[in-house]
Structure 1
Amino acid sequence: MRILSVHNRYQIRGGEDESRQAEENLLREMGHEVTVYEEHNDRIAKMNQLQVASRTIWSQEAYQIIQRRLKEQPQDIVHVQNFFPLISPSVYYAAKAQGVPVVQTLRNYRLLCPNALFFRDGQVCEDCLGKFLPLPGVIHGCYRESRVASVAVASMLTVHRTLRTWTKMVDVYIALTEFARQKFIQGGLPAEKIVVKSNFVHPDPKPGEGKGGYALYVGRLSVEKGLNTLLAAWKQLPMRLPLKIIGDGPLAGKLAADTQDMPHIEWLGRKSMSEVYELLGEAKFLIFPSNWYETFGRVAVEAFAKGTPVVASDIGAIAELVEDKRTGLKFIPADSADLAKKVTWLWENPQELNRMRQEVRREYEIKYTARQNYHKLMEIYDLVRNL
C-alpha cells in the first residue's frame, strides 16, 4: 500500500511528532511505501501576518504540491496528521481532486477550539465547543494570546464549516480515545466517520524493575500539564519522597525557584528517549497531573510498557487510560491535597504497587503494541479504500 503522510511540524518536537513518526516507521517496517509531505513552522518567521493568516485558511502552495505529487506518484491513501497552520485543509481538496481517500488523525482539538486545548485562564474552557463561529476564542485571544492570530484560526474554522469541509472532504477521522471521539461528535463532526485508534509504543522498551526509589514526571512544564499542582502536592507530603522531573517549558523558572529549598526534587531538563525509558523503568510510579482534557497521554502508555503505574488526573483522555487501583490511581484534577493523599497511599502500600506493575505491563501488551495498532490501522485504510 502507498501512503502519503502529511504533517505540519512545530518548533518543538512533542508527543504528536513522536506518535506520527512511530506510525510511519511501523508502516515501512510492514512493507508499505510511505512518502511524506512536511511543512515546518520555522517558515512563519519569513512571513507577515497576512500571509500566515491566508495560508491558514487555504494554502494554494500546499494544494499544488499535493496535486503534483499524486499525479507523479499515485497513492492509495492521503493520511493527514496535522495541517495547521501552513498546510491548511486545501490538502483534502487536492487529494479528492485526484480521487484519493483522506484519513485525518485528530491529535489535538484544533477543529473545535482555536487554541486546540479546551483550556483558558488555568482551567478547562468549552466556550467554543459546538459554535459555528468560535467568537469567544477571538475575544479572549486564545491562540498565541493574540486576537489577531485568533481571528485567523477562527476564520479558518468558520470558512471550512461553511464549505462543509469537515463533513464532506475527510473519509475517516481517527480519534485517539473514546473521550476525544465524543468531544468531536459534540463539536459537530459526523459520528459515523470517527473511529478510535490509540497511539502505541514501538519497539517494546521492555519493563524495568522499579527500584529507583523515586516518583517521576515527564512532560511540558506548563499550567495545563499540572506542574503547579504537582509542586504543591509535593510540599504537602508527610515524607520526603524523591521526585525527578523531565521536561522544559514556560514554568521552568518557577520550577527552579520553587524547588530551591526542596533538594528531594530534581529537575533533569530534556532527556533523550532512551534516557526517559531508563528513568521510567526504575521509577516507582509516574505522575500525570494534567489539568486539560489531553487527546491521549503517550507518556502514560510508555510507562505501562516499562511496567510503571501511573497516578493521573481524573480528567479527559488520561482518565480513560488509567484504571483506578489496577494500572494506577486517579486524583481530583488540580487538587494538590488529593494528589498528595494518593501518592502517600501508593508509597505506603508496596504490595499494591508491585501488583499494579504486573497489571500495567499486561495492559501494554493487550492494547498498545505495534501489532495491535497495525491491524487496526489496516482496517481503517481498507475501510476508506472500499467506500
Structure 2
Amino acid sequence: MNKFLYRRGGAEGYLLDLAELQRIGGNEVAYFGMTHPDNDSPLRYAEHFPSYVELEPPPRGLRPRLAAAGRMLWSPASRRGLARVIADFAPDVIHLHNIYHQLSPSVLAAARAAGVPCVLTLHDYKLACPSYQMLDRGMVCDACVGGGPLHAARRRCKDGSASASTLLAVESWIHRQLRAYGPVGVFVSPSRFLADVMRRAGVYPDRMRVINHFVDTSAIAVKPAPGGGVLFAGRISPEKGVDVLVEAVAAVPHGTTVDVAGDGPALPAVRALADRVAPGRVRFHGRLDKHRLQALIRSSAVVAVPSRWHENQPMAVLEAFASGVPVVGTDLGGLPELISPGVDGEVVPAGDPAALGAALGKLVADPDRAYEMGRAARSKIDSQFTPELHLARLRDAYRAAAAPDLAGVHR
C-alpha cells in the first residue's frame, strides 16, 4: 500500500521492485493506493481507490482546502475502499509504505477490523516530524522528536507558513492522541539512524526493526575500467545540496565534469549558479530512465550525495555501489552507515563545498584508487544488500506482525 503507485521516487521504486521479487518468489501481490493518472496499469482494485487529490500545492478555495485537510486527518473513502479489497483479496499481511495525507491512517482501522496484520516501512521522518524532513527553513532540526509535534506550529517549519505548519502539527498530534498507528505490528526502518529517531520520539520502539533496502544486481553491470567524472543523481531540491556540489566544482581538477541527472524545484536556481561559478563544467541531463542512468553511473569515477538533511537510506548510494562506483556523502542521517571512509567512499561535513570538492578531487585525480574503492562497494552490496537476504528479513517481520502476542494490535 502506498499513496502513489508509479515510480515517483525512491519509496515507490522500492515498493514496485519488492512486489516483483515477491511475485517471482511465488507470492500473490495486490496494490492499494490513491487514484492517480500516472499510476501503473492495469491495477486489479483501482475502482476501490480513493479519489485523486493534489496537496503540493494545496487546492485553491476554502472548501477544497477544508476537504483536503479533513482527508489528511481521516479518510472514510480510503477505509471503505480498503475494506472492500480485503474482503475480496483476503491478504495474509498488509505491507504499508507512504500512506500519510492522501490515504491517512484510516486504512489501518480497516485492517484492524478485518484482523489483518500490518507492517509499515518508514521512508521518512513523518511519524516523528510533522513536516517529514527534520528541517526548519533549510536547517537541521529535531525539536519535534523530543518535544512533540506542536513545535512545528510554533516554529512555522513548513515553508515558513503558519497555516501549513499548524495543520501538519495538529494532524500529527491528533493521530498520536488516537494512537492511529497502533494497528501496525512491525515498523521497518531501513537505517539505524531513522530507527533511533523514532525511538526517541516514542514511536512504538518495541515494534521497530532495522532492515536494509536491497539491490538486485542481476541486471546491473559493473564499471568496466577506471576513469570518469562526478555524478549527482536524484531530486534537485534544496535539501539535496546540489548547489553545494556546484560550488565544490572549483576544488575539483580543471576539466573534470559534473553530471547532474534529475529534476526538481531547485533546478533553475542550480542552473543559474552553475553558469555563474562553473561555466561549462556542469551538464544537466534531466530525468533519465533506469538503463540510461545506470550507464551514466558506470561512466563516472565517483557519485556525490551532498545532502544537507538526514537522508534515510538513499538508493542513489546503493545503486552506485552496485555499479562499482564509490560515493562521497555527507555526515547526516543514514549516510555514514553506508559508506566506509577510505574503503568504498568518503564522508564529509554537510554544507562544506571545500571539503566536498577536496574529497571528490582526490578520487577523480586517482582513477585507479577510485576504481578499487568501487570494487569494494560492489562487494558490500553482494554480501549485505541482496534480495534474498531482504526477503528473508521481511518474512520474519511479517511473521512477527501476525504473532499471537500482537493479536490485540490487529483485531
Give the shorter-chain TM-score range.
over 0.9
Unaligned runs of 5+ in 1: 1-5
1:286, 1:212 → 2: CA distance? 12
Partner residue in 2 for 1:218: 233
Q: Structure 1-normalised TM-score?
A: 0.93
Residues 42-94 of structure 1, C-alpha deviations (whole Å, 9 max, x = no match) = 42359711111111111111111122222222111011111111211111111
Question: CA 1:12 to 1:127, structure 2 compared with 1: closer, same or farther past 3 Å?
Answer: farther
For residue 354 of structure 1, report the CA deviation from its aligned partner.
2.4
Counterpart code for 1:190: Y
Select the residue among 287, 308, 317 that pairs with 1:270.
Answer: 287
Q: Does 1:250 align with 2:265?
A: yes
Decide whether the 8 Å contact of 1:311 with 1:328 is kept in 2. Answer: yes
How does 1:163-174 map onto structure 2 within 5 Å? Answer: 163-166=178-181, 168-174=182-188
Q: Does 1:101 align with 2:117?
A: yes
For residue 237 of structure 1, report the CA deviation from its aligned partner.
3.0
Partner residue in 1 for 2:96: 80
For residue 124 of structure 1, report the CA deviation from its aligned partner.
0.6
Q: CA RMSD in A?
A: 2.0
1:370, 1:100 → 2: CA distance? 25
2:122, 2:19 → 1: CA distance? 16
Identity of aligned residues (%): 27
How does 1:145-160 map onto structure 2 within 5 Å? Answer: 145-160=160-175
2:159, 2:234 → 1: CA distance? 20
Q: Structure 2-normalised TM-score?
A: 0.88
For residue 12 of structure 1, report the CA deviation from its aligned partner.
8.0
Unaligned runs of 5+ in 2: 37-51, 405-411
Select the residue among 283, 294, 318 that pairs with 2:300.
Answer: 283
Q: Does 1:229 align with 2:229?
A: no
Partner residue in 1 for 2:274: 259
Q: Does 1:381 align with 2:398?
A: yes
Decide whether the 8 Å contact of 2:329 with 2:348 is kept in 1. Answer: yes
Q: Does 1:27 align with 2:44?
A: no
Structure 1 residue matching 2:119: 3-state secondary structure: strand
2:382, 2:203 → 1: CA distance? 32
Deviates more, 1:44-53 or 1:115-124: 44-53
Question: CA 1:16 to 1:345, structure 2 compared with 1: closer, same or farther past 3 Å?
Answer: same
How does 1:33-52 map onto structure 2 within 5 Å? Answer: 33-40=28-35, 42-44=52-54, 45=59, 48-52=64-68
Structure 2 residue matching 1:330: 3-state secondary structure: strand
Structure 2 residue matching 1:95: 3-state secondary structure: helix
For residue 247 of structure 1, report the CA deviation from its aligned partner.
0.9
1:144, 1:124 → 2: CA distance? 14
Segments of 4+ moved more than 4 angstroms: none
Counterpart code for 1:13: R
Q: Would you say how many aligned residue pairs link Structure 1 and Structure 2?
A: 380
1:212, 1:255 → 2: CA distance? 26
1:24, 1:10 → 2: CA distance? 12
Select the residue among 140, 158, 177 that pairs with 1:162.
Answer: 177
Structure 2 residue matching 1:148: 3-state secondary structure: helix
For residue 375 of structure 1, report the CA deviation from its aligned partner.
1.2
Counterpart code for 1:237: V
For residue 171 of structure 1, report the CA deviation from its aligned partner.
0.4
2:4, 2:156 → 1: CA distance? 22
For residue 348 of structure 1, report the CA deviation from its aligned partner.
2.9
Select the residue among 367, 373, 377 that pairs with 2:384.
Answer: 367
1:11, 1:75 → 2: CA distance? 22
